[in-house]
Amino acid sequence: MSEHTLMQVQTSPWGVVGRRSFLRSMSASAAGLAAAGALGWKEAVTLHAEELRQEGMSCILLFMNGGPSQFETFDPKPEHANGGPTKAIDTALSGVQLAENWTNLAKQMKDVSLIRSMTNKEGAHPRAVYQLHTGYLPSGAIKYPSFGAIVGKELGKPDSELPYYVSVGGRFNYNAGAGFLGMRYAPLAVQDPNRMPNNSQLTVSESRFDRRLDLMKDLEQDFAKSARHAVTEHQSVVKGAAGLVTSPKLTAFDLSKEKDSLRDKYGRTGFGQGCLLARRLVEHGVTFIEVELSGWDTHQD
């Protein structure tokens, strides 16, 4: 199984740190991002959290779930007996070639860091996806937090009206979520970027909505005496949801605010519109957005 990911780290609202410089700096501080595993990137994010937070840093992870053949994508071998008929083309980065159909990406390779040293013995898709999200294989004893949850916890603003972590698209929910960090750092799942999040509009007045929240707190008091953790987790979810539906920043999820010409450039697919939504969320201060493309594979073709 091969999982290809492209990552862009952005400042908010407009500055961009290239993938190459990001990976280089992360490697220097964490003794090699690719080799250090989960401990490396966690330490890097934690140790530099204050600096990244002050710079308004956010991360967009484009997760293509599956794996087309490397011969027709990132590692063509036209002269090799096993390479097949696909030809290689030069790219903007000297010494790096791609398969011939990837002409647009070839022009952007100076902004891409292509990691060829990654390897894994895990063959089960759900377990491998979990490992890529957390740095660990699934365990019955511990539910590990995903990269997005950790970034949200370390870099997210405590008073943010929007979620720290948003997950966009994907038919299969392999996302590891927040694990032992708790529901406060769990991702808000947006299945369709063309639709506002579910329950995003109040159907009652704000005053009545506030009274309902107060009533819920009263009803939970007795239960909290015997199950404090469960109540705290539930209150965290309710607080986040209540803040979201009453926040004017909810418009960050509304793609109708964008010009049709720009939406066309991103592509009128779920993944293309998901990338546009991710850009909007970064501009509104969301710390981590993952956009998933399920079935980026060639099993049937």
Residue 181 forms part of a structural domain: yes
In this structure, are strands 165-168 and 188-190 parallel, antiparallel, or unpaired? Answer: parallel
Residue 83 forms part of a structural domain: no
pLDDT tens, residue order, the chain (301 aa) = 334 444 444 443 334 455 556 555 544 443 343 334 444 666 777 777 777 777 778 899 999 888 788 888 999 998 888 888 899 999 999 999 999 999 999 999 999 988 888 888 888 888 888 998 998 888 888 889 999 999 998 888 877 888 889 999 866 555 678 888 888 888 888 989 998 875 555 455 667 766 766 676 666 676 666 666 666 665 666 666 656 666 778 889 999 999 999 999 999 999 999 999 999 999 998 999 999 987 787 777 6
294 DSSP β-pair partners: 65
Angle, alpha carbons 216-222-227 (nearest 5°)? 95
Residue 30 forms part of a structural domain: yes
Structure tokens at 29: 């501080």
DSSP state of 52: H
Rounded CA-CA distance 288/156 in Å is 9
Phi/psi at 14 (5° precision): -120, -25
Residue 235 forms part of a structural domain: no
| 146, HSE (Cβ side, Cα atoms, 13 Å) | 25
Structure tokens at 49: 């959290």
Residue 87 forms part of a structural domain: no
Residue 95 forms part of a structural domain: no
Residue 91 forms part of a structural domain: no
**Nearest one of 222, 213, 60, 223 to 147, comparing CA atoms:** 60
Single pTM value for the model: 0.73
Q: How many domains does the chain have?
A: 1
Residue 289 forms part of a structural domain: yes
**Contact call for residues 24 and 111 (beta carbons, < 8 A):** no
Instruction: Quote the domain boundaries for residue 15.
Output: 4-70+114-202+246-294
